[in-house]
């Protein structure tokens, strides 16, 4: 499992792996928003947590269709399915690799980009925390969607439609944690709910993903 | 390890039944060569034997944990080197050293080259070298000799013979004479006729098993 994870990270970081794509997309969104809504901090600061979370979520979505599609094309998915590793483990490793190459860099970059949107100082820490807690759920849900659509030509559209509603709880609680953090309010309940969504995804979705893969492989 | 047994197996691709009543038995140390024209269902049968898709009817024993499947698509990543690709599958299958597999298919000189810079034949040898690392008893190989030169075909035949000598089993879909002592199985007699859905079609199964 660790081996699958490290291989996928290595593949993503090498040329043509699409590692920088999500990060570049996130950067572009955040840089362009002040041009769209105006540069006044009074306007930007209240919407900054929402914009940053939305940008991170859409950036995650960008690289999802690669999660299984590349392995399916070159036959590696068939070989993984016959290898002595449970498909649940493959699913978890794939989600882990996706998070390490998108969610983690996005979480670490977000506090710096938050400066561009005038997010008040205490919010930076909580923004990073909320992304670190919430983005694993995005990767796990996305991996599940990728497994459902892996057998389809141009399944990317269906994947986005399937996954977006499942992203809503994470987006609501995640942006709420960042907003309350920026305003200095108590953020226990939304942070706990955000963590609960992620924990539930870790516990359940690898099994759902493996079941979807078994159907897709036929 | 008691051999590979398929009894009364029926397979379908994309919902269309292709073969029915396929029955054979391969003892340890023996090979079976599948023949039949393009599209008859050789790949589908191999995938079913590998447990990648369920049969329409009948059964296969043993299950997937004894089987190594080698297809056209070899699962090798273009940006990883030969040694990295093989090393990945070796650790996944719990095999220690990739050196014997590299030597068996003459890949030693290419070990640090990225798979995307290999020729079609070299790439094919890389895919076949993976079979040695799986440590599985039963090899299922789909057109293994495509784009191999004569020397490489001989190397491949040696590898299969060595595998059979260890008590392994090989099922090959190939039309190339490998010089391996093997039973032949012509799939033509198991073809489901009228598979495209004409009236009265669909139940005309060939009779009899192959000895």
pLDDT at res. A200: 93
Q: Residue A107 pLDDT more than 50?
A: yes
| pLDDT, mean over chain A | 85
Instruction: Please indicate whether, in this complex, the C-beta atoms of B69 and A218 are within 8 angstroms of each other.
Output: no
Instruction: Please indicate whether, in this complex, the C-beta atoms of B79 and A11 are within 8 angstroms of each other.
Output: yes
Lowest mean pLDDT among A183-187, B16-20, B93-97: B93-97
Query: pLDDT, tens digit, for every residue of A127-136?
Result: 888 899 999 9
pLDDT at res. B200: 36
* Half-sphere exposure (Cβ direction) of B89: Cα atoms closer than 13 Å: 34
Query: pLDDT, tens digit, for every residue of B114-128?
Result: 877 888 888 888 888
Cβ distance B42 to B18 under 8 Å?
no
CA–CA min distance B121, chain A (Å): 16
| pLDDT, mean over chain B | 78
DSSP character at residue B81? B
What 3-state class would DSSP assign to A79? Answer: helix
Integer angstrom CA distances of residue A145 from A31, B72, B207: 29, 27, 44
User: A198-214 burial, b for 16+ CB within 10 Å, e for fewer?
Assistant: beebeeebbebbbbbbe
Kindly tell me the sign of the dihedral angle through the C-alpha atoms of B32, B36, B42, B45: negative
Of all residues in chain B, the one with the smallest CA distance to A151 is: B14
Instruction: Please indicate whether, in this complex, the C-beta atoms of A218 and B53 are within 8 angstroms of each other.
Output: yes
Instruction: Please indicate whether, in this complex, the C-beta atoms of A83 and B93 are within 8 angstroms of each other.
Output: yes
Instruction: Please indicate whether, in this complex, the C-beta atoms of B53 and A74 are within 8 angstroms of each other.
Output: no
Q: How far is CA A215 from the centre of its chain?
A: 24
Judged by a CB distance cut-off of 8 A, whether residue A1 touches chain B is no
**Nearest CA to A217 among A106, A37, A68, A99?**
A68
pLDDT at res. A199: 93
Of all residues in chain B, the one with the smallest CA distance to A215 is: B53
Interface-testing mutation among A1, A13, A82, with chain B (most B C-beta atoms within 10 A): A82
Q: Residue B153 pLDDT more than 50?
A: yes
pLDDT at res. B198: 37
Judged by a CB distance cut-off of 8 A, whether residue A11 touches chain B is yes
The winner for highest mean pLDDT among A154-158, A166-170, B124-128, B203-207 is: A166-170
Judged by a CB distance cut-off of 8 A, whether residue B69 touches chain A is yes
Instruction: Please indicate whether, in this complex, the C-beta atoms of B68 and A74 are within 8 angstroms of each other.
Output: no
How sure is the predictor about A204, in pLDDT bands with cuts at 50, 70 and 90?
Answer: very high
Query: pLDDT, tens digit, for every residue of B17-72?
Result: 888 888 888 888 888 888 888 888 888 888 888 888 888 888 887 776 788 888 87
How sure is the predictor about B108, in pLDDT bands with cuts at 50, 70 and 90?
Answer: confident
Interface-testing mutation among B78, B114, B128, B142, with chain A (most A C-beta atoms within 10 A): B78
Q: Residue A214 pLDDT more than 60?
A: yes
CA–CA min distance B143, chain A (Å): 15
Nearest-5° Cα angle at A9, A6 to A12: 150
Q: Which CATH superfamily is domain B25-187 in?
A: P-loop containing nucleotide triphosphate hydrolases (3.40.50.300)
Torsion of CA B114, B116, B122, B123, to 10 degrees: 110
pLDDT at res. B194: 61
Judged by a CB distance cut-off of 8 A, whether residue B114 touches chain A is no
Judged by a CB distance cut-off of 8 A, whether residue A84 touches chain B is yes
DSSP-derived pairing of the beta strands B4-13 and B16-26? antiparallel
User: A26-38 burial, b for 16+ CB within 10 Å, e for fewer?
Assistant: bbebbeebbeeee
Q: CB-based burial of residue A174 (10 Å sphere; 0-12 exposed, 13-18 middle, 19+ buried)?
A: buried
B186: left (phi over 0), alpha (psi -120 to 50) or beta: beta
Query: pLDDT, tens digit, for every residue of A108-141?
Result: 888 888 888 878 888 888 888 889 999 999 999 9
Domain ranges of chain B: 25-187
pLDDT at res. B100: 76
pLDDT at res. A137: 93
Of all residues in chain B, the one with the smallest CA distance to A17 is: B79
How sure is the predictor about B167, in pLDDT bands with cuts at 50, 70 and 90?
Answer: confident
Of all residues in chain A, the one with the smallest CA distance to B87 is: A3
Q: Copy the structure tokens of residue A171.
A: 């987006």
Tell me the chain A residues in contact with residue B64 when contact means C-beta distances shorter than 8 Å. Answer: 82
What 3-state class would DSSP assign to B58? Answer: strand
Q: How is A113-178 classified by DSSP, letter by letter?
A: HHHHTT--HHHHHHHHHHHHHHHHHHHHHHHHHHHHHTTSTTTHHHHHHHHHHHHHHHHHHHHHHH
Rounded distance, CA B156 to CA B145, Å?
8
CA–CA min distance B60, chain A (Å): 15
How sure is the predictor about B175, in pLDDT bands with cuts at 50, 70 and 90?
Answer: confident
Which residue do the tokens 């807690």 mark? A133
Q: Residue A29 pLDDT more than 70?
A: yes
A141 CB-near residues (< 8 Å, 6+ apart): A163, A166, A167, A170, A201, A205
Domain ranges of chain A: 2-217
Q: Give all strands of the β-sheet with B169-173 in edge-to-edge order.
A: B67-70, B138-142, B169-173, B31-35, B183-186
């Amino acid at each position: 499992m660790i081996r699958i994870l490290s291989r996928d990270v290595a593949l993503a970081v090498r040329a043509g792996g699409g590692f920088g794509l999500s990060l570049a997309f996130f950067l572009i969104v955040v840089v362009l928003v002040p041009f769209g809504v105006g540069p006044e901090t009074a306007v930007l600061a209240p919407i900054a947590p929402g914009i940053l979370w939305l940008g991170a979520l859409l950036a995650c979505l960008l690289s999802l269709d690669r999660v299984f599609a590349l392995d399916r094309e070159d036959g590696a998915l068939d070989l993984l399915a016959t290898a002595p590793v449970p498909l649940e483990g493959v699913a978890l490793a794939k989600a882990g690799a996706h998070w390490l190459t998108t969610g983690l860099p996005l979480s670490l970059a977000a506090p710096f980009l938050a400066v561009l949107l005038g997010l008040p100082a205490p919010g930076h820490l909580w923004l990073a925390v909320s992304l670190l807690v919430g983005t694993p759920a995005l990767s796990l849900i996305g991996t599940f969607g990728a497994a459902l659509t892996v057998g389809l030509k141009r399944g990317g559209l269906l994947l986005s439609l399937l996954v977006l509603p499942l992203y809503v709880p994470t987006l609501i609680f995640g942006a709420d944690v960042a907003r309350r953090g920026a305003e200095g309010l108590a953020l226990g309940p939304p942070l706990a709910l955000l963590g609960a969504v992620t924990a539930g995804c870790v516990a359940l979705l690898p099994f759902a993903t493996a079941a979807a893969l078994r159907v897709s492989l036929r | 390890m008691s051999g590979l047994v398929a009894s009364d197996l029926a397979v379908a691709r994309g919902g269309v039944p292709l073969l029915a009543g396929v029955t054979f038995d391969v003892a340890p140390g023996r090979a079976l060569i599948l023949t039949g024209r393009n599209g008859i269902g050789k790949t589908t049968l191999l995938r079913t034997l590998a447990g990648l898709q369920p049969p329409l009817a009948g059964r296969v024993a043993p299950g997937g944990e004894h089987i190594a499947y080698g297809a056209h698509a070899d699962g090798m990543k273009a940006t990883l080197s030969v040694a990295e690709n093989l090393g990945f599958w070796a650790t996944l299958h719990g095999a220690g050293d990739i050196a014997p597999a590299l030597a068996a298919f003459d890949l030693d000189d290419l070990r640090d080259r990225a798979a995307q810079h290999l020729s079609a034949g070299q790439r094919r040898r890389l895919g076949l070298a993976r079979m040695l690392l799986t440590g599985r008893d039963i090899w299922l190989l789909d057109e293994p000799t495509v784009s191999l030169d004569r020397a490489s075909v001989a190397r491949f035949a040696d590898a299969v013979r060595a595998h059979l000598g260890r008590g392994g089993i090989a099922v090959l879909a190939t039309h190339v004479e490998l010089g391996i002592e093997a039973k032949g199985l012509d799939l033509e007699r198991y073809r489901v006729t009228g598979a495209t859905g004409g009236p009265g079609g669909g139940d005309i199964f060939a009779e009899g098993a192959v000895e």
